[in-house]
Structure 1
Amino acid sequence: MKPLVIGNLIAKAPIIQGGMGIGISRSSLASAVSNSGGIGVISGVNIGYDEDDFEKNSLEANLRALKKHISIAKEKTSNGIIGVNLMVAMNFYEEHVKTAIKSGCDIIISGAGLPLKLPNLVKNSNTKIAPIVSSSKGANILLKMWDKKDNTTADLIIVEGPKAGGHLGFSNDELENINSINYDDEFIKILQIAKIYGEKYNKEIPVIAAGGISSSSDVKKYIDMGASGVQVGTKFVTTYECDADENFKNAYINAKKEDIKIVKSPVGLPGRAIKNKFIEHISYSKPKITKCYNCLVPCNPKDTPYCISQALINAVKGNLDDALLFCGADAYKINKIKSVKEVIEELTCEI
């Protein structure tokens, strides 16, 4: 098995665990993935949801918790790699990036928008930068900007396809007609873009396939196409080490294919989630919003369809009837809880 090499960072298994918020991937899951040879990723969005002062001082609680969970994950790993996923659409994005860097995270992974300011924020640090893109057009725009403005390029590129969970960089129409999206062609185009900028900056830019990858044959397919590795989120939810409540994990195990739906996200991007009472409710009524957590730049409490922070906090706590249960397209294929080590072994057995 060829390791995933990102500059001076080497992961024995070419597996990046996707960042999943709120609270689904914190220090427990990230450190377990890292200890099993992959790259563990902490989601930074409202990571301090269970801090005592979260309701009154959300920003302070989140930055404190981000620092704490990076520190815990680092302490639990032996020379492992720990990344942090931070959405561009977050309020206080820069503050979170700076805290992650000071706390010693190895990689900042950033999507839900183009992270145009990221190179400047990590300047003079050892932290690697990895944008998440969904198209060759987006990849080209971003790398051209970084090249022109910051005289630098990406250390890693993650190409997220339409089968992923969370906030997706595709339209509702595209996701409802998923076969109209030629992800493989886009992936090959991005490989070429990475090669061009890699040659210019005399470095190898690994390109990572992501979205709906759930088997070793999926992993082998993209490795054979030229990927340096894959990013996987959904399969790591149903692990003993995942930070989520058992009810959340069991929602995946009990889900059928027809239960997985495209939902409207207040970020302005559609998402994929498991159908439940909450999704049924928001289809015909707007839930009462009693508090704004000021978490997303595009979100206005007056016209947002629901509070995504509250819905995701309910999810991680296991309050399923009032929760948004983000998942990948293949969540229904999971039927039992496993260890992180088992999941990584399953994903890499054919490569």
Structure 2
Amino acid sequence: MIVIKLNIGGLVPKIPLIQGGMAVGVSLDNLAAAVANEGGIGIIGTAGIGMLIDGYQKKFKEANIESLKKVIRSAKEKTNGIIGVNIMVALTDYADMVKTAIKEKVDVIISGAGLPLQLPSFLEEGTKTKLIPVVSSVKAARVIFKRWLKKYNYIPDAFIVEGPKAGGHLGYNKEDLENPEYALEKSIEDVVLFSKEIEEKYGKIVPVIAAGGIDTSDQVKKFFKLGASGIQVGTPFITTKECDADIKFKETIINSKKEDITIIKSPVGLPGRAVKNKFLEDVENGMKKPFKCAYHCIKTCNFKEAPYCIAEALMNAARGDLENGFAFSGANGYKINKITTVKEVINNLFKEGI
């Protein structure tokens, strides 16, 4: 029996779980709706979403808006549960993505990969969409809180604290990933204390959600004991039948060994955790993968000198073309050894009750 309640500004899922927004074709309407139908919060990853549309190269911005609308509407048709989106601050068309999500009345916008200092500015009168920044430290949480309160009189509806064991792009320097000072356990305790300060001073409960490397019920219990009110989980949902990625992408995670999970230097200027394959080995050996940048989709991407287009590589992989791409994975992805279902993943995380 789950007794922990995750209350995000009045939005209360049956299960205190957010599915990680894995972008570029991995978590779309199918996965998000499946998680929502099980009582969690289903999240659509928005980066590269326009690449789902034929001819996107000629109208990248328009394709992103069109595709996001389509995927949100499709998810809502499949569930009456809670649906949100994950929008990276680093996106060149960040504002368009946020405005589109709000117009489509998503329940939640999660925003990281940079500090979402202007996120509340896009809210319209009567908007019920909740805003959740992703942070890697209490310092970042304080900066966002102060800016939102001073400029917009808005207090975050929750904080997602993402630790160094997460998959994909990471908000840490490479050398900090193994430093105990940056462990998720420590960051959670720090942000929980800050959240209590906010509650005492302003009367608003700001739940703290733990993310990054969480894949067992023991870990879930540990983070709840540290004061978290919810968890965000990504990688275990990749290998579910409901995940939108191709079976070959899922098998890449299933067939990976511990030594295959590696930290790469992404063209967008951040370290990223991925499954090593020939594509990445070629890049490491100095081989360039020829590409023409259709749209400078990530502000920090040095596309003129990048050895490959990361959006293209990730979408190729999500579609099953691992020769021309690669899969992101959390630190514990190698532990997964079979295709499961969303229900099984959730039952595993909460199997002994919380």
TM-score by length of 1: 0.97
- Hey, what does 2:161 align to over in structure 1? 159
Q: CA deviation at 1:50?
A: 2.1
Q: Which amino acid aligns with 2:330?
A: G
| Kept in 1: contact 2:163–2:183 (CA 8 A) | no
| Distance in 2 of aligned mates of 1:110 and 1:324 | 24
- Hey, what does 2:74 align to over in structure 1? 72
Q: Which amino acid aligns with 2:230?
A: G
| Distance in 2 of aligned mates of 1:172 and 1:349 | 34
Q: CA deviation at 1:33?
A: 0.1
Q: Which amino acid aligns with 1:9?
A: L
For structure 2, the residue ranges without an aligned partner over 5 or more in a row are: none
Match for 2:144 among 142, 145, 150? 142
Q: CA deviation at 1:209?
A: 0.3
Q: CA deviation at 1:199?
A: 3.3
| Distance in 2 of aligned mates of 1:185 and 1:327 | 23
Calculate percent identity across the aligned residue pairs: 53
| Distance in 1 of aligned mates of 2:43 and 2:184 | 24
| Distance in 1 of aligned mates of 2:148 and 2:8 | 18
Report matched runs for 1:304-319 at 5 Å: 304-319=306-321
Deviations 1:257-291 (A, max 9, x none): 00000001122110000000111011122222223
Give the secondary structure class of the aligned counterpart of 1:126.
Answer: coil
Regions of 4+ moved over 4 Å: none
Q: CA deviation at 1:26?
A: 0.4
| Distance in 1 of aligned mates of 2:45 and 2:79 | 17
| Distance in 1 of aligned mates of 2:300 and 2:339 | 36
Q: CA deviation at 1:324?
A: 2.5
| Distance in 2 of aligned mates of 1:280 and 1:254 | 17
Deviations 1:36-88 (A, max 9, x none): 0100000011112121231211111111111111111111112x110100000
- Hey, what does 1:132 align to over in structure 2? 134
| Distance in 2 of aligned mates of 1:104 and 1:67 | 10
Match for 2:30 among 1, 25, 28? 28
Q: Which amino acid aligns with 1:273?
A: A
Report matched runs for 1:33-182 at 5 Å: 33-78=35-80, 80-124=81-125, 125-175=127-177, 177-179=178-180, 181-182=182-183
Q: CA deviation at 1:200?
A: 3.4
| Distance in 1 of aligned mates of 2:77 and 2:248 | 28
- Hey, what does 1:303 align to over in structure 2? 305
Q: Which amino acid aligns with 1:343?
A: V
Give the secondary structure class of the aligned counterpart of 2:52.
Answer: coil
| Distance in 2 of aligned mates of 1:30 and 1:140 | 30
| Distance in 2 of aligned mates of 1:98 and 1:200 | 31
| Kept in 2: contact 1:168–1:269 (CA 8 A) | yes
- Hey, what does 1:288 align to over in structure 2? 290
| Kept in 1: contact 2:159–2:208 (CA 8 A) | yes
Give the secondary structure class of the aligned counterpart of 1:309.
Answer: helix
User: Does 1:203 pair with 2:204?
Assistant: yes
- Hey, what does 1:326 align to over in structure 2? 328
Distance 1:178 1:248, change over 3 A: farther
- Hey, what does 2:192 align to over in structure 1? 191
For structure 1, the residue ranges without an aligned partner over 5 or more in a row are: none
User: Does 1:259 pair with 2:260?
Assistant: yes
Q: CA deviation at 1:123?
A: 4.1
Q: CA deviation at 1:197?
A: 2.1
| Kept in 2: contact 1:116–1:146 (CA 8 A) | yes
- Hey, what does 2:21 align to over in structure 1? 19
Aligned residue pairs: how many?
A: 349
188-197 or 231-240, which deviates more: 188-197
Match for 1:339 among 330, 338, 341? 341
| Kept in 1: contact 2:164–2:183 (CA 8 A) | no
Report matched runs for 1:226-265 at 5 Å: 226-265=227-266
| Kept in 2: contact 1:152–1:201 (CA 8 A) | no
Give the secondary structure class of the aligned counterpart of 2:134.
Answer: strand
Deviations 1:91-130 (A, max 9, x none): 1100100000101101000000000010111242111000
Alignment root-mean-square deviation, CA: 1.3
| Distance in 2 of aligned mates of 1:108 and 1:184 | 24
| Kept in 1: contact 2:161–2:210 (CA 8 A) | yes
